[in-house]
């Protein structure tokens, strides 16, 4: 199912991307707070978040494309 697949996709992210994504999107921390917690720069938090979003977007698009093809058959 779609929600289960998304949870799995999140778990498949590289650790540094998943952690920043979770802290920012799910827990609501700011880039500054995340940078302080992880002892990295705010630029790195922004980069990791952007990369995580890109990976998830690609996975969702691939899933959607597959699902649409199965509906058309």
pLDDT digits (tens, 9 = 90+) for 38-73: 999 999 999 999 999 999 999 989 888 877 777 776
Coil/strand/helix, residue 63: helix
The CA–CA distances, whole Å, from 32 to 23, 49, 73 equal 11, 13, 49
Q: Are 12 and 62 in contact (CB under 8 A)?
A: no
For residue 39, what pLDDT is reported? 98
For residue 3, what pLDDT is reported? 54
pTM: 0.82
For residue 31, what pLDDT is reported? 98
Would you state the structure tokens that stand for residue 37, as one six-digit string?
């917690």
């Amino acid at each position: 199912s779609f929600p289960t697949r998304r949870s799995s996709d999140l778990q498949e992210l590289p650790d540094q991307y998943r952690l920043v994504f979770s802290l920012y999107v799910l827990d609501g921390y700011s880039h500054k707070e995340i940078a302080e917690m992880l002892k990295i720069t705010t630029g790195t938090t922004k980069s990791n978040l952007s990369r995580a979003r890109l990976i998830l977007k690609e996975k969702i698009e691939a899933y959607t494309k597959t699902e649409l093809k199965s509906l058309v058959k």
